Amino acid sequence: MRFYNKIFIFTLELMGISSMVFARSIPQHTIILKLQWAEQQAMQYNPSVQAARQQFRIIEDQIPQAISPQDPTLMVDQQNELNSPLNWNSGSNQMWMVSEHFHFPGESFAQQHVLDIREKQMREILQLTRDQVILRTRIAFWNFYLIQRLWRIWIKVRPILNSLNLQLQSTVLKGQAVNFKNIQAQLELVQMANRYFHIQEKFKSTQIQLSAQLNLPYSTSYRLNYKIPMKRLDRSFSQEIQAALKQSPLLQIAKDQIREENSKKTVEWLKHFPNFSVRVYGVRNISNTGFQNFGVRVGMSLPIFFLLHQDWQSRAIEAQWRMAQAQLQKTKNTLMTQLAMDWERFQSANRLFKFYESGHFRTQVHEAWQASWIAYQNDQLPLKKLIQNFRTYLKMLTLYYQAKVRLEKLWAQVEYDTGNS
């Protein structure tokens, strides 16, 4: 028994030291954390959103290039006599020419239409990235909320742990025999002390996870305003399905892909028509003082087709269009399956939390623990039973806050599925 006592005394001493060190390690300047502020911070500064925003701007800059003409080319030529050095003052003829190539009318606008669809698709991808970041931020926020709540509970009950340990040691000093019940009670206290350390370490890790989503220094400290309103719209499952089908970025991206593949058919069809070129040139003989012969040439290039190659290319484009249609149906099926699973879990978590709230669960847990403590002081409850009740007391409080956080995280997932983030 002395061996277990030494372990637990050492554990409690570490608890006292670690709590003081932990308090000193928290920076003096902390952020008062609110969920709405965290979402705005993540949407503006999260690296994933910034990368998606730059990708969207790349597509925007490519649209004017589709309808603008190609860069003109300049050619300067000189015909030299045999065995004459290559320089501007020797040779018989000199020539310059500026040429410009034009696609068949309508091809540039068809290509612009493809890029317009791609721009819309990138806008949906940007929105999807924002929704994903908002979801991760909300999950990180509620994880931090849970751990800080549990940390505050364990800070308050640490003196009770010390008191129970002293009470358990006094039973040994009174000469009570060593038995498995005493050992079990001692181990339960050690497990609760270990839980204290685990929450302290978890507290630091959740702060780092939250800072990563907000793109803030990892040493940033947060303090919560615990009066967080739980706002949820009263919607049915059928309404959630309609919302997802109407505004989910995943479905919009798949629909835009079908439109893009369909527009590519038009672009490929217009490539079968001729292209045009305009050339302006000037020629002079070396014996003359300046360019005297000027001219304009208008040319047309006709593509020569290999029919089998064109058939393969047309079938490939048609296959890509059909693949985009299948991908849309696949995305829809996956989204509906995920929404149904998330909605089922959300309803289950909602019923459980309503049970906790309707019966004033936390008040009853506190009253039950106070009654156990009073019964022990009046010699109506043995110490080992008191330790078990204390462990149950901590477990019940933990379950309450876990139920609350799980409900909020599942609601965030439902909002993500329906595109309402």
Tally DSSP H helices, then E strands, for the chain.
10, 6
Sheet holding 73-79, edge to edge: 73-79, 93-102, 275-285, 293-301
Distance CA 315, CA 323 (A): 12
Task: Tell me the per-residue pLDDT of 332-351, one tens digit each, with 9 for 90 and over.
Answer: 999 999 999 999 999 999 99
Other Cβ atoms closer than 10 A to 199: 20
How is 13-55 classified by DSSP, letter by letter?
HHHHHHHHHHHHHS-SS-EEE-HHHHHHHHHHH-HHHHHHHHH
Q: Angle CA(58)–CA(39)–CA(257) in degrees, nearest 5? A: 35
The per-residue pLDDT for 79 is 65
354-374 mean pLDDT: 87
Helices (H), 174-293: 180-214, 237-247, 249-270
Q: Which residue has the higher pLDDT, 366 or 180?
A: 366
Write the single-letter amino acid at 65. Q
Question: What residues are paired with 294 via a beta bridge?
Answer: 282
Q: CB of 132 within 8 A of CB of 48?
A: yes
Q: Angle CA(239)–CA(411)–CA(236) in degrees, nearest 5? A: 20
Task: Tell me the per-residue pLDDT of 209-223, one tens digit each, with 9 for 90 and over.
Answer: 999 999 999 888 888
Among 150-154, 177-181, 348-352, 360-364, which range has the highest average pLDDT? 348-352
The per-residue pLDDT for 271 is 74
Task: Tell me the per-residue pLDDT of 174-196, one tens digit each, with 9 for 90 and over.
Answer: 555 556 677 777 787 788 888 88
Q: Provide the pairing of β-strand 222-224 with 31-33.
A: parallel
CATH 1.20.1600.10 given to domain 2-418: yes
Task: Tell me the per-residue pLDDT of 369-409, one tens digit each, with 9 for 90 and over.
Answer: 889 889 988 888 888 888 888 889 889 999 999 999 999 99
Backbone φ and ψ of 77, nearest 5°: -135, 150
Say if residue 97's pLDDT is above 50: yes
Task: Tell me the per-residue pLDDT of 291-312, one tens digit each, with 9 for 90 and over.
Answer: 567 777 777 777 666 555 566 7
Say if residue 116's pLDDT is above 60: yes
- Residue 134: which H helix or E strand, with range? helix 107-173
- Residue 224: which H helix or E strand, with range? strand 222-224
